[in-house]
Amino acid sequence: MRIGALIAVMGAWVLVLGPACDAVHAEELRVLGVVAMREVMLDVGPSFERATGHTLAVTFDTLGFITKRVEAGEAFDVVVIPRAGLERLTQGGKVKVLPDSTVDLATSIAGVAVRKGAPKPDISTSEAFKRTLLAANSVARPDPTSGGASGAHIARVLERLGIADEVKSKSVIASRPADARATPGSSVADGDADLGLHQVEELMAVAGIDIVGPFPAELQEPLVFSACMLAGAKDADAVRAFIAFLRTPEATAAIKAKGLEPARP
């Protein structure tokens, strides 16, 4: 069924049944999502629960750990991950995704942050960005070996700029950014690093920092986050309703407000 039709059907269902859906048919949906979508999910999740009567049990982690957890047999109904990670998740046939259940939700870009009130350096061009990174005493960034997409992307940017070794020696690495207290942004806020490199929406979620701006366009590798249903989901209709809800105007507004760009249908 097309996503527009799904939303229309779900909307009609909610109007008829109201927030208090028949408790007999209410389900707890097990959702595993990437950290970058945390703020969006926490924002729209309660609305979905009120509208449908279903409840959400949501866990957040990096793409690398998500893949390991699903492969290890942890039971989830739906995953929200970078579309590029779907191939990694399903390679070898160990993990199966229901056909036609994948829906693109949002696009993310990488950015730079400094401690609140600190001067904002020039990152307007690749050369200016390079000079800023070299001038910083310390740089916080995600662990490129953890399997997360942003950590790997930032490592490639440093290689491309020819300063990987220089920045490595002064890097403050966030090894598990699933912990909101140990992210590149929080390292900057706590004074442990001069600069924070991470996805813009992740930086926006941290108090005590200012976002300088996005990486120069030529250094971006935009991430497209998608939702998909895993084979073995307890209630396929409930999962499809949840995925459809993530493309409603309310969810789209939350996506924009959290620093992401809504994906085109």
Helix axes 83-90, 63-71, angle to 10 degrees: 30
Q: What are phi and psi of 11, to 5 degrees?
A: -60, -45
Specify the pLDDT at position 1.
Answer: 38
Q: Which domains, from first to last, does the chain contain?
A: 3-107+223-262 (3.40.190.10), 110-219 (3.40.190.10)
Determine if residue 174 is left, alpha or beta; phi over 0 gives left, psi from -120 to 50 gives alpha, anything else beta. beta
Calpha distance 20→150 (Å, rounded) = 40
Calpha distance 64→124 (Å, rounded) = 31
Specify the pLDDT at position 178.
Answer: 57
Q: Which of 24-28, 107-111, 189-193, 215-219 bottoms out in mean pLDDT, i.e. has the lowest?
A: 24-28
Specify the pLDDT at position 24.
Answer: 42
Calpha distance 208→188 (Å, rounded) = 8
- Higher-confidence residue of 73 and 127: namely 127
Give tens-digit pLDDT for 57-112: 999 988 888 988 998 889 999 999 998 888 788 877 778 898 789 999 999 999 99
pLDDT > 90? residue 180: no
Give tens-digit pLDDT for 138-175: 999 999 988 788 999 999 999 999 999 999 999 999 87
Give tens-digit pLDDT for 197-236: 999 999 999 999 999 999 999 999 999 999 999 998 999 9
Q: What is the pTM of this model?
A: 0.84
Question: Which residues 6+ apart lie within 8 Å of 251 measured at CB?
Answer: 40, 44, 105, 245
Calpha distance 68→64 (Å, rounded) = 6
79 touches 243 (CB < 8 A): no
